Amino acid sequence: MKTSLIAAGAAALGFVTPALAADEVTLQLKWVTQAQFAGYYVALENGYFEEEDLDVTILPGGPDIAPTQVIAGGGADVVVEWMPAALSARENGLPLVNIAQPFKSSGMMLTCWGDVGIAEPADLDNRTLGVWFFGNEFPFLSWMSQLDIKTDGKMDGSVEVLKQGFNVDPLLQRQADCISTMTYNEYWQVIDSGVAPEELVTFKYEDQGVATLEDGLYVLEENLDDPAFVDKMQRFVRASMKGWKWAEENPEDAAMIVLDFDETGAQTEEHQIRMMGEVAKLTAGSNGALDEADYTRTVETLLAGGSDPVITAAPEGAWTSVVTDGALN
């Protein structure tokens, strides 16, 4: 009552009591503005972050932006990153911790021409394969190691690795027998170029048992010692997952929200709607909490790297449930 009387008196005298500022959060995406990150844009557009008293800034990524470097330099509070890159960075001195895992399944696959004699993974031997780098090569290298295929040149028992740009030209121009694609993006770029699905052979990492976790949320370990930061991340994850589930249920509307935030104008309505439909298959089944079995599979896949493994020892402290426990319960 006392507070109400003071506020009323202040109003009568013409004073305005300043509202407490919302807590600021900067999120660095792994790639450009697209439906791969729809949940965050939906949470921003639909006011879910605002409901949690958060002022969220979403930073698009790109070919020259590494989320690990951005957060290391203090440019973001939380980043979207693939677990192989995050665990590699952790082993090399950047203490990243997974606080939530909106993506349950992997969308990564190898897409090959069907007329070059590739029918099963063993047929990849002595081929030229397009591979993304900047941390995205780790699942591929682990897979090749498990197949006992070296990556030092096109010959028996080895493959030639073509450092692939973020396009599908190496496949279309027959520079590579196979290229890296995502189920929600590059594969459809190949199809949109006029190639029929029956002309292609695809190998999903998920089906090969070497899938690693993608698009998790990571923060610096030291920040988790701050209760205020943990509370802020709990609210951020809660709002984000609300955005993701809305996007799953409303894929076309979610795609349109993404388009509204695309300042480059590079994305198209058809592509984003289709992407959202595919991404929804990957986030389905996740409430945001990391499945420890998925984490264990990822670590085992990365450790199986032969003479040049992605990580050399099982990491400790690389994930925590403290944020999702508070956000979801």
pLDDT at 9 over 80: no
Q: 83 near 103, Cβ under 8 Å? A: no
The confidence band for 146, taking pLDDT boundaries of 50, 70 and 90, is confident
pLDDT single digits (tens) 299-315: 988 887 666 677 899 99
Asked if the domains 23-105+213-328 and 108-204 are classified in one and the same CATH topology, the answer is yes
CATH code of the domain made up of 108-204: 3.40.190.10
pLDDT tens-digit series, residues 259-284: 999 999 999 999 999 999 999 999 99
- Do residues 119 and 68 touch, judged by C-beta distance below 8 A? no
For residue 89, pLDDT over 50 is answered with yes
Average pLDDT over all residues of the chain: 91
Banded pLDDT at 172 (limits 50, 70, 90): very high
Q: What is the band of 145 on the pLDDT scale with cuts at 50, 70, 90?
A: confident
CATH topology of domain 23-105+213-328: D-Maltodextrin-Binding Protein; domain 2 (3.40.190)
Residue 245 confidence (pLDDT)? 98
So what's the pLDDT on residue 310? 77
What pLDDT does 103 receive? 98
20-29 average pLDDT score = 94
Q: What is the pTM of this model?
A: 0.89
Domain ranges of the chain: 23-105+213-328, 108-204
